[in-house]
Every structure is written in C-alpha cells, then in structure tokens.
Structure 1
Amino acid sequence: MAAPAPSASPAPASPLALLRQLEWRVRHAVENVLSGEYRSTFRGRGMEFDQVVKYEFGDDVRDLDWNVTARLGEPYRKKFVEEREVTLLVVFADTPSLQFGSADISKREALLELAGFVMLLGAVNRDRVGFVHASPTGHTFRAPVRGRGAILHAAASLLAIPPPSVRATGPADAQLPWRLLARAAPKHSVLLWLGDFPPQAVPEGWPVLQRRYQTMGFRVDDPWERALPTRGLFAAYDPAASRLVTLENSAAERAAHAAWRAARDRSWHALFPDPLSRLVVATDENRLDALVRFFNARMRAGSRR
C-alpha cells in the first residue's frame, strides 16, 4: 500500500498578519514593562530653541547660555519648546549578507522583526513613523505617517520587500539617499539605522545626519559571527560571495575571523560612539526582550542626567 502523501507546509504568514502578532507583544511591553516611558527614551533633549531667559533657582544648569551669562554678568539660560510628537525614520540597509543564517532564522528575518517592533512602538505611542529601504539596486522611501492603520501599512510594506539577489554587488549603504535622509524628517527626529554593518569607513553623509537627528543603530549577529563552529571540515554557503566556502577550523581561519570582528566593531563604534545608541542582538536571542533592555538602559541613563 502506498504511503500517505506528506502534508503540505503551512503558507508563511503575510506581513500584515505577522505584524498583528507582533503588535500584541509590543502593547504588552509598553503597558507592563516600559511603563509608558518609551517616549522619553527617544526624545531626550530633542527640543527646539525658543529664547534666552534669566536663570532661576531650580532651572536645569545644562541650559545655561555661557556667552550671554558672561556678557551680562548674571546667569541666563536657553529656553526650549518641546516638540509635540516624535518622528521616527527607520533606515533598513538590505544586503545579501543579511540572508545568512546558521540556525532557524536568518539575520534579515531577525532584523526585520526588530524594525517591525520599533515601528509598532511608534504606532502605540501615537508618533509619526516612516522608512527608507536601501539595497544594492536602489531605495524605497515612505514618508512618516501617523495613526495605527497607516503605520501598520507602512511596516507591512517594509516587511514585504523581497531580499536583494545574492548576486547583487555593492553595499546597500552606497545606495542610501543621504540628501533625501537629511530632509526626510523634522529636526531632532529619531533616525534608526538597521543593517549588517561590515567593516567600513564612516559615510560622508553620516555626520550631517548625526547633527540633525537622534541617531541609533541596530545590528543582528549570527552565532557563527561571534564564534566559528568547531565541528571540523565542512562547507557553508556565503551569500555575500554567492558561493560555497569550506571551513577547516584552522588557526589561520580563527585569526582572520578575530581580525574581522575587531575591524567590524571599530567601525560600528565609530558610527555610534554612545553605547546607548547602539544595539546588537543575536539571532538566537529574544529580540523584544533585547529591545526592552535597550530602552530601559536609556531610561535609567536619562533619569541620572
């Protein structure tokens, strides 16, 4: 008798269905873990200058205008008007190297999940959220929008973009529209750059964005990037090189791997010098838990300032 045919694999969830699953987890985190303070972790001192006024007891000494104080002989401070809302611009640098995954999930899948979480956090907190998706072949821009439905649609659009061909050449960062990014959101908005961040020089347009926005970076590591497997001789597919490579677990390979990691971390720290502005998560870690820890660390640091 013939064996029964294997059951068909369930179809993958649509981006919108996936986002709705993530949304419940985000709402739980905001209401029960972040305690509604998510906004302050992004806003920081991102406020528009209004005028110079006399300093009064109890005012924040960080706002002192030393030039005016020295000229008039008594303390004056800068007065700011807080922006009414936060604008979040998600920049997703999509490269073939993100398609690597030594376990159940690729780096790209994990990074898109992080992007979805952050965009949903913006929706829950009534912020404006937009995105730029860049790949070696070009970019897609969605202007910041407000409202749960509009942000869900924008996030679903980002998650639905197909990955670049593994034969695509050139870094996605080279396709980032720096001039567009410099005017894509109001001053003091949050710019979140997600990518693979290989060893690289600081892009020419990056310092301009750092002056205009609050900048943060999210990176996802595969376990093999943190430590080479020790199982001996075996072959693995390298999506960045679009070919099979043989790993021998030799001393030379381990030394080259350590040098690559050191160079990657140096360039990563040069892009995001403040430890509270960068997040690194492994594909075998819980992304939402890591995000909550990241925001809590920023909140604790903000409360001490």
Structure 2
Amino acid sequence: MEATELLKKVRQIEIKTRGLSRNIFAGEYHSAFKGRGMAFSEVREYQIGDDIRSIDWNVTARYNHPYVKIFEEERELTVMLLIDVSGSREFGSFEKLKKNVITEISAILSFSAIQNNDKIGVIFFSDTIEKFIPPKKGKSHILRIIRELIDFHPQHSGTDITGAIRYLTNAIKKRCTAFVISDFMDDNKNLEMALSIANNKHDVVALKIYDEREKELPPIGMMKLKDAETGEYVWVDSSSRKTRKIYADWWIKHAARFDSMFKKCGVDYTAINTNQDYVKSLMNLFKKRALKQ
C-alpha cells in the first residue's frame, strides 16, 4: 500500500475509533478492567464515619490525634492484543471483511487503554508468531499499531492460537489483560490447557469474529470453495439439503465447543458478527465484567 493511501486509512480509523472510545467506551472500559489493587496515597485527619481499620497509628501517636490512611486504585494496566492474521480473516460476505472488523476493534481497545493511562502491546500470529510489539504508552505508539493493523502482511496463512497464547504466557511476565481477537478456526486439542494456564497468570478475554455465511451455506448450487489457510479448493453442492445440514451442524458443534471451553477456563468472551454493530457486543461484555468485579 502506498504511503499516502496508508496515512489516509490510518487517519480514518483513528477518527472513527478514537471517537467511539472516548464517547462510549471510556467509562465502561475503566469499570470492566481494574488495576492491580489499591495503593497508599496520603493520610488525613480522622472524620466521623471513617473505618477505624484505616487509622494510621504511627501518625496518630506522633500528633496525638487520629489520622487515617487514604488509598487510591492503582490504575495502570498492561493490555495485550493477540491478533489473528491468518488467511481466514480475509473472508467476508457482506460489507466488511473479518480483517476490517478486527482492525477497528483493536484500534478502539488501544485508544481506550491509552485514555486510561494503560500500556498497550500487540502479538500478531498465524501458525507462528508473526510480530511482537512490546507494550508502551502514547499516541505515536497507537498510530504505529493502527498502521500495522491496516498494512501488515503475514508470512504464513495457517492458525495456531495455542502457540500465540503460550508465547503470551512466556513473554509477558507481569499480569496483564489480554484480548485474543480471532475467528477461532483452530481445532488444536491443547488450546484449552493453554487458555487455562494463561488465564491463571493473566486476565484473558476472547473476541470471536465471524461472518454470517460461515454459519450456513446458501442454496445456490455447485460452489467452488477455497480454504484460505491451506489454499485447497473443493466443490460443494449447496443445493443439497443434506450438505447444508452437515455444514450447519458442524458450525453449531464448533461454536458449542468454544463456548464450553471459554466457560471452563473462566475466560470472558463475546462473539461478534461482521454484519452487526460490534459496539453493542463490546458494551455488553464490558458491563458483564463490571458486574463481576
């Protein structure tokens, strides 16, 4: 992509997603993703109604008058985005490709993090770790992430979510909030264990991006389908009810498997349809998390 075109797209994404983050997500994000706990701020004179357990006895003895400790939320977080850049993200049957939705959601989360003074980092993955951007603060860092989201060209087309989650567990030493943004087209049997281990160390949130046409085949006759990750082609007779049912049943089992896995591992998640407003899905997820705090 040419530099001028890239800058124009970066600006468009920035304007849209920064506005959404500031006007809609700011309060919800803050409530849904807590800091590391409470940190001592200062002492002040005791007032009627204060919890006597907060009295600072050393200062009280020094001034012969009761003083209490004041604590503030230690807000700063490290946020990591694990972004699936495999071949299947290029699919889309309506207005947006999965890739476009992933880009916008990632940008919104990045701006939300920066507005809350959190660090943000990114792991791009396919069936290998394509790129690691260490967590930092600042607008220039955010714009670099958006440029990469728009113009990143992976070396591989397969998917290995398990490998990406293991990389997170090993690379990020301190506890972080990690968003795994993927279509979850991965049948690795070790994924559940990797998710469970990662969520014990970090706070893992899964955002499953899917297209409506992935749920069922349209009855339009013979279709030549290409596997975006392997490059293989296959002919499918979509006019056959049996074929469409087999496909629909597979999707239901696939979705149920991940639903069960996320719940078992204690991972908060939401499924986002490329044809629907992702704002509502994210807001519902944030509100659900805030209620659990």
TM-score range, shorter chain: 0.7 to 0.9
Structure 1: give runs of 5+ residues left out of the alignment: 1-9, 51-56, 60-79
Q: For the Cα contact (< 8 Å) 2:120–2:135, is it kept in 1?
A: yes
Partner residue in 1 for 2:205? 216
Partner residue in 1 for 2:27? 36
Partner residue in 1 for 2:180? 193
Residues in 1 aligned to 2:73 and 2:144: alpha-carbon distance in whole angstroms: 28
**Structure 1's 222 and 12: CA in aligned 2 closer, same or farther, altered over 3 A?**
farther
In the TM superposition, what is the alpha-carbon distance from 1:239 to its structure 2 partner? 1.4
1:265 counterpart = 2:255: yes
1:105 counterpart = 2:96: yes
After superposition, the C-alpha distances for 1:74-100 in whole angstroms (9 at most, x for unaligned) are xxxxxx984331211001132222222
**Structure 1's 58 and 210: CA in aligned 2 closer, same or farther, altered over 3 A?**
farther
Residues in 1 aligned to 2:164 and 2:267: alpha-carbon distance in whole angstroms: 24
1:96 counterpart = 2:87: yes
What does 1:198-209 align with in structure 2 at a 5 Å threshold? 198=185, 199-203=187-191, 204-209=193-198
Letter in structure 1 aligned against 2:115: V
Partner residue in 2 for 1:242? 231
Letter in structure 1 aligned against 2:275: D
Letter in structure 1 aligned against 2:183: D
Partner residue in 2 for 1:144? 135
Q: For the Cα contact (< 8 Å) 2:38–2:72, is it kept in 1?
A: yes
After superposition, the C-alpha distances for 1:264-297 in whole angstroms (9 at most, x for unaligned) are 2233224421898212111212334433343244
**Structure 2 length normalisation: TM-score?**
0.74
Partner residue in 2 for 1:47? 37
Residues in 1 aligned to 2:4 and 2:249: alpha-carbon distance in whole angstroms: 38
In the TM superposition, what is the alpha-carbon distance from 1:37 to its structure 2 partner? 3.6
After superposition, the C-alpha distances for 1:173-222 in whole angstroms (9 at most, x for unaligned) are 254261553441522x2110111212443424322210111110111111
Aligned-pair identity (%): 22
Partner residue in 2 for 1:114? 105
Partner residue in 1 for 2:242? 252
**Structure 1 length normalisation: TM-score?**
0.72
Q: For the Cα contact (< 8 Å) 1:46–1:214, is it kept in 2?
A: no
Letter in structure 2 aligned against 1:130: G
**RMSD of Structure 2 on Structure 1 (CA):** 3.3
What does 1:142-181 align with in structure 2 at a 5 Å threshold? 142-165=133-156, 168=157, 170-176=158-164, 178-181=166-169
1:24 counterpart = 2:11: no
In structure 1, the residue corresponding to 2:199 is in which secondary structure?
A: helix
In structure 1, the residue corresponding to 2:33 is in which secondary structure?
A: helix
**Structure 1's 140 and 177: CA in aligned 2 closer, same or farther, altered over 3 A?**
farther
In the TM superposition, what is the alpha-carbon distance from 1:133 to its structure 2 partner? 0.9
Letter in structure 1 aligned against 2:111: L
After superposition, the C-alpha distances for 1:1-45 in whole angstroms (9 at most, x for unaligned) are xxxxxxxxx99941x5434323333343344334634212112x8
After superposition, the C-alpha distances for 1:153-172 in whole angstroms (9 at most, x for unaligned) are 2332343211455xx4x533
Residues in 1 aligned to 2:188 and 2:255: alpha-carbon distance in whole angstroms: 10
Structure 2: give runs of 5+ residues left out of the alignment: 41-48, 52-70
Query: If each structure's helix is expressed as a fraction of its own residues, which one has the higher value?
Result: 2
